[in-house]
Amino acid sequence: MLSIALRLRSEPALGLIGGRTEKIVTRTFIAALPLILIACSADNATGQNAADAPAKPFKTATIADFDSPWAMTFLPDGRALVTEKAGEMILFDPKNVDQSWGGKIRVQIQGRPKVDSEGQGALMDVVLHPQFTQNRIVYLSWSEQGPGGKGVALGKGEFSEAPSVCTGQPCPKQPILKNFQIIFRASPYVEGDGHYSGRIAFSPDGKYLFFTNGERQKFDPAQDPKATLGKVLRLNLDGTPAAGNPLAAQGFHPAVWSYGHRNLLGIAFDADGRLWEQEMGPKGGDEVNLIKPGLNYGYPKVSNGSHYDGRDIPDHAPGDGFEAPKVSWNPVISPGGLLYYSGNLFPAWKGSLFIGGLSSKALVRVKLDGDKASKADQWDMGARIREVEQGPDGALWVLEDGDDGSQGRLLKLTPAG
């Protein structure tokens, strides 16, 4: 039987994730199996999560285990691109099992940018161009070092596959991002390793790219008109600021769409074209916001949370001039990714938002009703959830972030029974 590469964890160092202390774990590989990830099918003993409570309306299958994954997206053929914190991007086929090798094939994609993965740094979001089937373009975000410190960058490249030169089987094609180029950088770059944000979403008409820049744990840049930090940005697909952004005439950076945000770790359009965003608040006050052009969402002048040193922040109040969240949490959930669910596999949840919970170790559902939102469900997942994605068949795919007993499992959720 094929031996499995062992992985040991070194002693963890402490870092801040969204203002909440988290173990940042480095791992030492004693042995490696290139391109192979040992997988667990839905039919074996680990396919059904033993911790699932009977009341959960879904069953959980463990599909794979990655190394601190951050985001994923599905290709049109059903394969997936998965980013990992340290800077790797993996091409993974959930269906391609070679029994002679005992696992599912995963291939590292070449042509990736150089990533600074200290603290909250990572190779972050991965999103396909709206016309991917024609142009094969993939967009990435990541944290990097640069003049003045560190910041979040946005780039794109053409996904291509070439025959590999290897012996034995399997011998998958070698994927690469050709002609990769950086198209946008947050400004300014500053010292520190936190609150990069870096989420990407395309407008429903496919003409614009929306990009989140966190305030980098510096507070005031979220209100600074010249900085992109603490903002939602609207860009052209080539990374240039889109014409007609609402605050440019007022002296703001020309890319700014909305401002007064903290750490924006999820962004998604609903079926009616509304833009929803979730962000980690300070000590309390995690938020779901309906993003509207030109509005100030208040941070750090107002928040439903408080500073970590105990200083109060005024709560949102009617008439204060700031846009209040549609939903907020205190105690916090530490929101990870954000998904607008449009599938048919879970018909009762169609039109809902799904959020990964980090410190809460939860999958969270938010019900939408036009421009209103309300808390609906919160399921204990037993591990920190970084990302939620919708699969081609409408299943929910969930990425753990790689702490608390897992490298970072990929889970598939399907209806119970």
| Closest by Cα among 376, 378, 381 to 400 | 381
Question: What whole-number distance in Å separates Cα of residue 68 and Cα of residue 34?
Answer: 17
Question: What whole-number distance in Å separates Cα of residue 84 and Cα of residue 125?
Answer: 10
Whole-Å CA distances, 13 to 24, 119, 125, 290: 6, 9, 24, 36
Question: What whole-number distance in Å separates Cα of residue 25 and Cα of residue 22?
Answer: 9
Going by C-beta distance under 8 Å and a sequence separation of 6 or more, which residues neighbour residue 86?
Answer: 67, 68, 115, 117, 122, 123
Q: Quick check: bond before 163 cis, omega within 30?
A: no
Residue among 129, 195, 261, 316 flagged as catalytic? 195
Quick check: helix, strand or coil at residue 82?
strand
Residue 346 DSSP one-character state: S
DSSP string, 36-79: EE----TTSTTTS-TT--TT-SEEEEEEEE-SSEEEEEE-TTS-
Q: Is 316 a catalytic residue?
A: no
Count CB atoms within 10 A of the CB of residue 176. 17
Whole-Å CA distances, 174 to 71, 145, 160, 164, 177: 21, 28, 8, 5, 10
Q: Contact, 210 vs 275, CB < 8 A? A: yes
| Cross-strand partners of 355 | 338, 364
Catalytic residues: 195
